[in-house]
């Protein structure tokens, strides 16, 4: 079962130990906590995207409409 992993990283035990440690840390993380971290990462990445309003709508109006819609949830 571990042969494909050892073949991929060679005989580097430090790398194997780091991979196993990361796997165990991920396996022990509560699902809700991990989901919140991934959502936060997604929001951070999405916030860096430039905003372009729909055609025919001013930027201020589009931003107001977007914030009004998100407040309804």
Going residue by residue through the chain, which has 73 residues, state the pLDDT in tens, using 9 for 90 and above.
667 766 776 767 788 788 889 989 888 889 888 888 888 888 888 888 887 888 998 888 888 888 876 655 5
Q: What is the pLDDT of residue 19?
A: 83
Q: How many C-beta atoms lie closer than 10 Å to residue 35's C-beta?
A: 11
Non-local (6+) Cβ contacts of 59 within 8 A are 51, 53
pTM here is: 0.38
Q: What is the pLDDT of residue 42?
A: 86
Q: What is the pLDDT of residue 70?
A: 62
Q: What is the pLDDT of residue 21?
A: 92
Q: What is the pLDDT of residue 62?
A: 86
State how far the alpha carbon of 55 is from the alpha carbons of 7, 61, 65, 71, in Å. Answer: 53, 12, 14, 23
Non-local (6+) Cβ contacts of 41 within 8 A are none
Q: Report how far apart the first and last C-alpha atoms of the chain are (Å, whole number).
A: 46
């Amino acid at each position: 079962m571990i042969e494909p992993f050892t073949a991929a990283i060679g005989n580097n035990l430090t790398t194997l130990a780091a991979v196993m440690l990361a796997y165990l840390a991920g396996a022990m993380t509560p699902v809700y906590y991990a989901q919140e971290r991934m959502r936060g990462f997604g929001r951070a990445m999405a916030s860096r995207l430039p905003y372009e309003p729909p055609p025919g709508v001013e930027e201020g109006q589009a931003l107001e409409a977007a914030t009004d819609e998100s407040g309804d949830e």
